[in-house]
Amino acid sequence: MYAQRKIIHIDCDCFYAAVEMRDQPLLRDVPLAIGGEADRRGVIATCNYPARKFGVHSAMSTYRAQQICPNLVLLPPDFPRYRTASQAMRTIFADYTDHIEPLSLDEAYLDVTGLTHCQGSASRMAMEIRKRIAAEVGITASAGIAPNKLLAKIASDWHKPNGQFVIRPQDIDAFMLSLPLKKLWGVGKVTAARLARQGAHCCADLQDWPLERLLREFGKFGSQLFEQCRGVDLRPVATGERRKSLSVENTFDHDLPDLETCHAALPALVNDWQRRMQRAIGERQHKAFVKIKFSDFSQTTVECICPNPSIETFGLLLTEGFERGKKPVRLLGVGARFEELRAQPEQLCLWPG
């Protein structure tokens, strides 16, 4: 049985757009998105709720977003202002606990186990934190409260925007039964579709699968699914862990048949990675890498020393990696490893950065 912690997950509502609407009130009721220009293959980083009513969402191409929402107001990101708002929120968090695990500028886990604020009520602490964010930062945030990180993150999305939801220890078993599998960590649309083809749509379905079947189907990830579908997550709130890398990857609905098709899929991945890198405050890139998983599930990773990789850098790595397998590709990933505190001397990358 896992430890009964009290975890709060705070997640701001459309953070970048919220900061822009705070500073420009006339934008509150119009469709608004933050992202790159369409003619530069830009993507949407986030959008407000009026824009979402048109079907606009993060990671959508700006070109597509402007097609489905012709009146969309598009603004470039202003990261100095977003970092200032993020730091103000972390100052609020620190008034409640020292056990804080930031996930990005706009979300964090807080472990409030055994603390005396609000008579020890994690729900009341979350309510206070959200009220202070609204009053002191000028934006709204949602919160999830649960005995572990998995459930707290699921709960924070339950009553968005500007709401909160609590999952008590005694409610976990019942709550998990009807939870869609796509809510679990690591279950994207491809994995969800694969499970659905075998009759598993919600956690109750997956609970009927023995561990051996999950391991056979998904390897190491199968053991995580076995625990997750029962609401089990033993991970502590990691206050001192330093992030070692940041990457994005995509498992395609249909295998990419050749190198040319892989290169065509690369810009969207790199755009998404660059957008997420803007949130990695203070991290210094050290190595660029490309991960490839072939149709037979064999995989390879190619990397080079490069402190500022460009799409050309990733393209060269992709070409080298594809030559190792020369098979259709089911998954592509791009990313960077961050500089170690005591990095050993290594040969610099001669590829374009």
- Does residue 139 sit in helix, strand or coil? coil
Domain at 7-14+80-172, CATH class: alpha beta
Predicted TM-score of the model (pTM)? 0.72
The tokens of 189 are what?
């649309």
Please report which confidence band the pLDDT of residue 279 belongs to, taking 50, 70 and 90 as the band edges: low
Q: Could you confirm whether 107 is annotated as catalytic? A: yes
CATH domain 245-338 topology: Dna Ligase; domain 1 (3.30.1490)
User: What confidence tens digit (pLDDT) does each residue in 317-333 have?
Assistant: 999 999 999 999 999 99
The tokens of 183 are what?
């809510």
The tokens of 168 are what?
């008590």
pLDDT of residue 33: 96
Residues of the chain with CATH 3.40.1170.60: 15-79
Please indicate if the annotation marks 11 as binding a ligand: yes
Instruction: Name the CATH superfamily, with its identifier, for domain 176-228.
Output: 5' to 3' exonuclease, C-terminal subdomain (1.10.150.20)
Which among 237, 336, 241, 209 has a CA at the least distance from the CA of 285?
A: 336
Mean pLDDT of 256-273: 92
Residues of the chain with CATH 3.30.1490.100: 245-338
Q: Are 271 and 96 in contact (CB under 8 A)?
A: no
User: What confidence tens digit (pLDDT) does each residue in 11-34 have?
Assistant: 999 999 999 999 999 999 999 999
Quote the mean pLDDT of the chain.
Answer: 90
Give residue 174's identity as a one-letter amino acid code.
A
Which among 266, 260, 277 has a CA at the least distance from the CA of 328?
A: 260
Residues of the chain with CATH 3.30.70.270: 7-14+80-172
The tokens of 101 are what?
């695990």
> Which one is catalytic: 20, 37, 101, 107?
107
Please report which confidence band the pLDDT of residue 172 belongs to, taking 50, 70 and 90 as the band edges: very high
How far apart (Å, rounded) are the C-alpha atoms in residues 202 and 195? 9
Q: Are 144 and 164 in contact (CB under 8 A)?
A: yes
Domain at 15-79, CATH class: alpha beta
Percentage of the residues of the chain whose pLDDT score is greater than 90: 71
Give residue 43's identity as a one-letter amino acid code.
V
Q: What are phi and psi of 152, to 5 degrees?
A: -65, -40
